[in-house]
């Protein structure tokens, strides 16, 4: 197969839009491009595609499972070579992925896994250990039996489930009192609203773990407006979060490497195209960054 250099980004503007997917290429299907984490993942993938001389097409589901299904219809019709997939929902995306499996199109999942699906490889951070890392940082900073709260990401995504599992382990280990847990949908405004509600209803909260940095940044804003200063820990290691750590508003972030995830995805896709094996699970290391 001849590989050519090209990177393109196509976004559906409505459910009625159609997308043409070219054959003889790798497709990167992302849950959203409204989040710095996934923008960085796209950048890493595009850079590696240019380096390896592979055609990469990037599609955006806009956090909408219906748009995601429409994209997958186009991918199957075009018989694309390999799909790099970051699902909108680890459960709702399963049916679409099973159709990719039936079409014998190799699939590599990035950051989030899909239930009941066959994948060639899953490339992601260890979200459970990341949640524990965040909780243990809070314990080190404030001690055992701290009153804590949690801002969850999108329901039914593996990242939300696994980061919550890790944090729950830290809550039990450190005898924290988990006073509140609100969904923030991995969105800064969602984090703001969740924090506002939790702090107003539970003035004893001393620390907040947000499942991503965008929600953590929203938590900082809400806390300041209420005249509160809980210790806040985020997750991702985004540029804005690292700046907030330097300035003291954010106590810590669990840094992922989204560009590496995207890059590893493209490199793995090329290996598949060359008839080589790839590891079923490819972990990407995490790092806690604090003041």
Strands of 207-210's sheet in order across: 177-183, 147-152, 207-210, 231-236, 252-255, 287-290
Task: Tokens for 15, please give them.
Answer: 């459910």
Beta carbons within 8 Å of 37's beta carbon, 6+ residues apart: 111, 212, 213, 236, 238, 256, 258
Q: Give tens-digit pLDDT for 167-202.
A: 999 999 999 999 999 999 999 999 999 999 999 999
In this predicted structure, what is the pLDDT of residue 156?
86
Query: Is 0.95 surpassed by the pTM of this model?
Result: no
* Cα 31 from chain centre: 9
CA-to-CA separations, 275 to 98, 159, 272, 291, in angstroms, rounded: 22, 30, 5, 46
CA-to-CA separations, 154 to 26, 134, 171, 195, 215, in angstroms, rounded: 27, 19, 21, 16, 11
**Phi/psi class of residue 251: alpha, beta or left (left: φ > 0; alpha: ψ in -120 to 50)?**
alpha
Q: Give tens-digit pLDDT for 60-117.
A: 999 999 999 999 999 999 999 999 999 999 899 999 999 999 999 999 999 999 988 8
The C-alpha atoms of residue 215 and residue 183 are separated, in whole angstroms, by: 10
Q: Structural domains in the chain? A: 6-119+259-284 (3.40.50.2300), 127-255 (3.40.50.2300)
Beta carbons within 8 Å of 231's beta carbon, 6+ residues apart: 138, 141, 142, 206, 207, 208, 251
Q: Going along 201-290, which residue ranges are E strands?
A: 207-210, 231-236, 252-255, 281-284, 287-290
């Amino acid at each position: 197969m001849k590989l050519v250099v090209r990177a393109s980004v196509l976004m559906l503007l409505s459910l009625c839009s159609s997308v043409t997917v070219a054959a003889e290429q790798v497709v990167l299907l992302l849950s959203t491009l409204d989040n710095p984490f996934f923008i960085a993942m796209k950048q890493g993938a595009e850079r590696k595609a240019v380096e390896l001389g592979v055609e990469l097409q990037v599609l955006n589901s806009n956090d909408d499972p219906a748009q995601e299904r429409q994209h997958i219809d186009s991918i199957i019709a075009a018989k694309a070579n390999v799909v790099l997939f970051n699902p909108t929902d680890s459960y709702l995306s399963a049916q679409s992925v099973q159709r990719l499996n039936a079409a014998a199109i190799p699939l590599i999942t990035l950051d989030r896994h899909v239930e009941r699906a066959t994948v060639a490889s899953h490339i992601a951070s260890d979200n459970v250990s990341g949640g524990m890392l965040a909780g243990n940082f809070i314990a080190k900073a404030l001690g055992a039996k701290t009153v804590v709260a949690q801002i969850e990401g999108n329901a039914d995504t593996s990242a939300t489930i696994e980061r919550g599992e890790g944090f729950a382990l830290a809550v039990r280990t450190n005898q924290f009192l988990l006073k509140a847990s609100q969904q923030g949908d991995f969105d800064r405004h969602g984090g703001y609203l969740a924090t506002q509600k939790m702090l107003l209803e539970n003035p004893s909260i001393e620390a907040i773990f947000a499942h991503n940095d965008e929600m953590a940044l929203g938590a900082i804003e809400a806390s300041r407006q209420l005249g509160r200063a809980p210790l806040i820990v985020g997750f991702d290691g985004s540029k804005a979060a690292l700046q907030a750590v330097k300035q003291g508003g954010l106590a810590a972030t669990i840094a992922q490497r989204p560009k590496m995830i995207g890059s590893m995805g493209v490199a793995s896709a090329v290996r598949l195209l060359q008839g080589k094996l790839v590891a079923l699970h490819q972990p990407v290391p995490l790092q806690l960054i604090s003041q």
